[in-house]
Amino acid sequence: MVDLSVLYEISTLPFAPSQEEVAQEAMRRAVRLFDLRRFALFLGAGKGCKLAVFHGFKNSREIKGAIKQRTRNQFHFRLGEGGELGKLFMEKVGAIHERERQVYTIFARQLERVLAAVKANEQYRRAVQELKESEARFRALVEQSLVGIYIDSMDRFLYVNEAVCKIFGYRPEELMGRISPLELVHPEDRPMVEEKMGKRLQGEIEYARFVFRGLRKDGSVIFCEVFGRVTELQGQRVIIGTVVDITERRKVHEALKESEKKYRELTEEIHDVIYAVDEKGVITYISPAVERIGGWSPEELVGRPFTDLVLQEERKALEEAFLRTVQEPLHQNEFRAFTRSGDIRWVQVVSRPIVEGGRIVGRRGVLRDVTERKRLEDALRRSFMGTAEAFAKLLEERDPYTSGHSLEVARLAVAIGREMGFTEKELTGLYFSGLLHDIGKIAVPVEILVKPGPLTELERALIRRHPEAGYEVLKEVEFPWPVALATLQHHERMDGSGYPQGLKGKEIIREARILAVADVIDAVTHHRPYRPARPLEEALEEITRHKGLKYDPDVVDACVKSLTRRSFKFRK
């Protein structure tokens, strides 16, 4: 009967809000039930293991000495797998019999179960709190965004942020639930906007991006650009999207178009420079228009090698290119040249071979000043790159564990591509692909992205949808590189074990094969909610072990070289 009552008290060891409270109650029951002389309970593992409660000892030094003795009147037990929950020590005056040790073990196991449950509950509460804080940060970001963010149905706004109100000149309470979205659209543009909204709400299309004329509260007309997608909210199909006032940008665009028109009318009346060179690249003829571009008279240039006008650092490569392509039927090149005053201009040349008596004796072509075009291209590239980086950072605000991931993948992909001999244009495409490869995660609920424990099958399926979701967004953008396809394929593997299409080998484009390796390296070496960061050496071992199986061997070799030679370093 005594054993049964003891077993009953052991089995009813209660849960408590904290492990420390469980430890206090466990000590009280153990000392009373087992008539213990001394008792000590440690919580945690490794360096984090700390003394929680003790009985019969004067200080921690005395506890450590007693634990080392390992006598017959002592009971030692590691709580949890490998002692991850802590250590239990109990000591009687006399020897502990086998029957008593069995009861002590039952007590230890029950204590272990209670501590594990309390620890899991504490972790859950922390995760919930972190999620609430993350949602609060994201809500603050939305509210303070300079971009208008809205949720609407066909007949009313369900949500608008402050930026939307500023764009149209209304207060939030005037817009939400009172004004139809179509009332903010210019009458001539309403049929078009209504059609696009209807198609999304009816499921015909998921995403839409377009420009329309909007009406402010004061009656003024503005130009707006919107990007929106359809989603489910409380059982209702709604549109969530962004709106930007592009009125000033539109004015600049129209002014630029007018300027281009005038420039075109002017240049149509002026001929480009016509030139001819012999088989050695010496100028044999050049038209008077060269004076307008470079300040040279034809007489000053005839008889001189064309490379005399080329920037010193580009001469050798241009001479080699000329000799290599002298027989090509059509050749185009761009390089920097000196003007007579010493200025440097970008010029484009298009040439054909000069054939006399069946033999190529030189080349004849057209030369054009493309300095302004180069400047605009560079400005546009930098502007577009800045926009892409900002958008990637905005997306990653949803998931603090992957902050900076897209930028680091982009940088590493460029380093790998450079090691593999990619051109500068191809490297730029790799950079954009890296920045935007995870854009599809905008369609994944944030609760799943930050979940610290194992995912359910449904949650895994939602995450595995992000390459296709990203592709649907990016395929409508006219990139000069296969950014959308690289995004779709960056989780494919050489042996066909990847997703979403199960592609193999060369069916996967080069850019996606590079992103796959760069993605793995960054993911392994940085913290995730379900595991800590691992050393770079482990990441390299991971891709090396699967070299030729999951990952392209050339890409793996290039990645290892970039990282081991320290030609690439993570910023984080």
Burial of 416 (0-12, 13-18, 19+ CB in 10 A): buried
Both tokens assigned to 18: 């904290």
- Model pLDDT, residue 512: 95
Residue 142 clears pLDDT 70, i.e. is over it: no
Q: What is the DSSP string of 309-372?
A: GB-HHHHHHHHHHHHHHTT-SSEEEEEEEE-TTS-EEEEEEEEEEEEETTEEEEEEEEEEE-HH
Question: Strands (DSSP E) along 190-306, which ranges?
Answer: 207-215, 221-233, 236-245, 273-278, 283-286
pLDDT at 500: 94
Size (the chain), residues: 572
Higher-confidence residue of 420 and 256: namely 420
Picking from 440-449, 481-490, 518-527, which range would have the lowest pLDDT averaged per residue?
440-449
Q: What is the pLDDT of residues 317-339, one digit of tens each?
A: 777 777 777 777 888 888 888 88
Interval 107-138: pLDDT, tens: 999 999 998 888 888 887 887 777 776 666 66
Q: What pLDDT sits at residue 523?
A: 84
| pLDDT surpasses 90 at 391 | no
Q: What is the Cα gyration radius of the chain?
A: 35
Question: What single-letter DSSP state applies at residue 421?
Answer: T
Angle between helices 405-419 and 424-436 (to 10 degrees): 150
The structure's pTM equals: 0.42
- The residue among 81, 106, 120, 123 whose CA lies nearest residue 12 is 106
Whole-angstrom CA distances from 4 to 27, 103, 108, 192, 211 are 19, 10, 17, 80, 79
Lookup result for tokens 């194992």: 454
Joined tokens for residue 227: 């990007």
Whole-number pLDDT of residue 470: 86
Q: Tell me: pLDDT of 435 over 70.
A: yes
The percentage of the chain sitting over the pLDDT mark of 90, rounded to a whole number, equals: 27
Flag whether pLDDT at 531 surpasses 70. Answer: no
Answer whether residue 488 shows pLDDT above 90: yes
What is the maximum alpha-carbon separation in the chain?
122
Strand-pairing partners, residue 333, are 349
Query: Given pLDDT bands bounded at 50, 70 and 90, which one contains residue 266?
Result: very low
The token pair at 440 is: 């599809």
Tokens 């590079």 sit at which residue? 514
407-411, Cβ contacts within 8 angstroms, sequence gap of 24 or more: 407/434, 407/435, 407/571, 408/522, 408/526, 408/570, 408/571, 408/572, 409/434, 409/437, 409/515, 409/518, 409/519, 409/522, 410/434, 410/435, 411/568, 411/571
Residue 267: pLDDT over 60: no
Q: Is the dihedral of CA 50, 52, 57, 59 positive or negative?
A: positive
Report whether pLDDT(526) > 70. yes
Structure tokens at 559: 């990645």
Local confidence band at 557 (pLDDT 50, 70, 90 cut-offs): very high
Among 420, 414, 419, residue whose Cα is nearest residue 432: 414
Alpha helix positions (H), 89-215: 98-144, 162-168, 172-175, 190-201
Place of tokens 């130009």: 223
**Over the stretch 166-220, which tens digit does the pLDDT of each residue have?**
999 998 888 887 888 889 999 999 999 888 888 888 888 888 889 999 999 999 9
Distance of CA 497 to the CA centre of its chain: 23
User: Position of tokens 């000892």?
Assistant: 57
